Amino acid sequence: MMGSAKISYYLHLLLSALAFTPSNAKTAAEWRELSIYQVLTDRFATTGLTAPDCWIRSYCGGTWKGLERKLDYIQGMGFEAVWISPVIHNIEGNTTWGYAYHGYWGNNPYKLNPHFGTPDDLKSLSAALHKRGMSLMVDIVINHLAANQTPKAVDYSAFPSPFGNKASFNPPCDIDYANQTSIEDCWLVTTPPPALADVDVANSTVFDAMVGSVVDIVKTYNVDGIRLDTARHIPKQYLAKFQDAVGVFVTGEALNESVAYVQQYQGPLDSAINYPLWFVLVDTFMGRTTFDYLAATIKTEEAAFSDVNALTNFLDNHDQPRLASRDGDDVIRDKNAVAFLMFTSGIPVVYYGFEQRFTGAADPVNREPMWTSKYDTKAPLYQYISKLHKIRAVASSITGKAAYFSSKVQILGTSQENMALQRGPLVVVVSNVGVDGTTASLKVAASNFTPGTMIVDLLSCSTAKVGKAGGFVSPPNKGEARIWISSKHQQGFCPHISS
């Protein structure tokens, strides 16, 4: 039986979950207006801003306090939110796959991971972000708890109550990814250890305790949003209950390339991580397919999702190879890809180190220490992302933020090498030929520009004249993207051009 102290604590968490409605929580509509910078806490910055050498599978020393001390670097690119890796206590010691530096092997949802700092450190990070007008997103795992043992040897008593017994988890089994019931009820990892014991969410005592622990984190640390790990491994009715209880924006991970599959998770949750778009855009910007495929995916998603602008879009992350590791990638392809990311429908997410062209491929080498870059604010992609944020601010100020970020991107035309997109007052033309390629001009047949208007590319300050039906020719730019706007709205980006 549970001790009276544990019963009281559990009841406290449950009542908090039922009653908690954060007064300052941003809605999904407000999150649509943000851009997110994703960090692995252990790899971003140490408390003393040192640069230690470390094994890629071990703790490297990054902390919440170190991250707080490098917020100028993140905000300098224009990001309005920071997504940090899971904060709860993880298993200790070495495993088959190294240490739990990433945070996804939690074993006690009621305690923080001391490797990242103290409760006061996390509160301080949250307060520092909010003082800057920025938001905090925390990665959360409710699907499983970890044990550095095989399934038959798991010591369930090591987990805190009410997780400390075998009945709190589904029976061990390997996932059959062709079977949704198996995806939801079997264990994400069985062997080799650490095993990830699948929480029995149908057990109300266990599920309510897990949700209550998350509500407590949100409340205690003033969390604005959640990235929910392994969301597709949890039945949707329980995702809906989780969303209602936590009271903040939640974007869920459902790793699948099918739009029809992933769209099921927006509804139970506010948002889904946009894996269907990611699979296509990587192939497109690496030049392995034409822009027609990307255009078709955009249209399919607009029809399928209830709010495409609340989806979280990305180019790479901690689970996927970095874009710069791809065959044929170069800085020009990166620029085009991130320009697309920043102006298409949805919330852009940039994984730390992209701006420094980190080249780590598959996990774990895509989790490099950030300090190896010396946080270079003069790096070309750092400067480029900063400029893209400024252009987003101009565009949304012209239409109004709510109108701009609720609008859906319009596809104005595609070719083998180019795509033209309209969002608010902008026409963005992206390319996939890279630094060594050559592009032809792209003839945009129609746009929202008024005939006779002079337009300017905010990246190069080239100009063009708009013709009938808003049509114009976007000339080649050595593979670089162009972002066109009426010259009267260029707001000092090109001072020599009359507004």
What pLDDT digit, counting tens, does each position of 413-464 carry? 999 899 999 999 999 999 999 998 777 899 999 999 999 999 999 999 999 9
Examine the residue annotation and report whether 208 is marked as an active-site residue of this protein. Answer: no
**Do 249 and 269 meet the contact criterion of CB atoms below 8 Å apart?**
no
Cα–chain-centroid distance for residue 487? 33
**Do 313 and 285 meet the contact criterion of CB atoms below 8 Å apart?**
no
- Does residue 121 register a pLDDT over 90? yes
* Angle formed at CA 337 by CA 310 and CA 397, multiple of 5 degrees: 55
- Residue 138 has what DSSP assignment? E
At residue 129, the 3 state secondary structure works out as helix
Distance from C-alpha of 65 to C-alpha of 117, rounded to nearest angstrom? 7
Distance from C-alpha of 266 to C-alpha of 152, rounded to nearest angstrom? 36
* The pLDDT value given to residue 21: 52
Residue 257's CB: how many other CB atoms inside 10 A?
Answer: 13
pTM of the entire predicted model: 0.95
* Angle formed at CA 268 by CA 262 and CA 273, multiple of 5 degrees: 40
- Residue bearing tokens 């640069």: 51
Distance from C-alpha of 442 to C-alpha of 454, rounded to nearest angstrom? 17
Q: Which of the following is catalytic: 42, 184, 229, 301?
A: 229
What pLDDT digit, counting tens, does each position of 378-408 carry? 999 999 999 999 999 999 999 999 999 999 9
Examine the residue annotation and report whether 253 is marked as an active-site residue of this protein. Answer: yes
> Which two structure tokens, joined as six digits, stand for 387?
């400029």
The phi and psi torsions of 75 (rounded to 5 degrees) equal -65, -25
What pLDDT digit, counting tens, does each position of 304-326 carry? 999 999 999 999 999 999 999 99
> Which two structure tokens, joined as six digits, stand for 302?
């607009």
DSSP readout, 265-303? GBTTBSEEB-HHHHHHHHHHHTTSS-HHHHHHHHHHHHH
Distance from C-alpha of 336 to C-alpha of 352, rounded to nearest angstrom? 18
Q: Which of the following is catalytic: 200, 208, 253, 301?
A: 253
Distance from C-alpha of 404 to C-alpha of 392, rounded to nearest angstrom? 9
- Does residue 5 register a pLDDT over 60? no
- Residue 217 has what DSSP assignment? H
Distance from C-alpha of 410 to C-alpha of 23, rounded to nearest angstrom? 35
What pLDDT digit, counting tens, does each position of 22-35 carry? 556 899 999 999 99
Q: Sorting pLDDT into bands at 50, 70 and 90, what band is 146?
A: very high
Distance from C-alpha of 494 to C-alpha of 460, rounded to nearest angstrom? 8
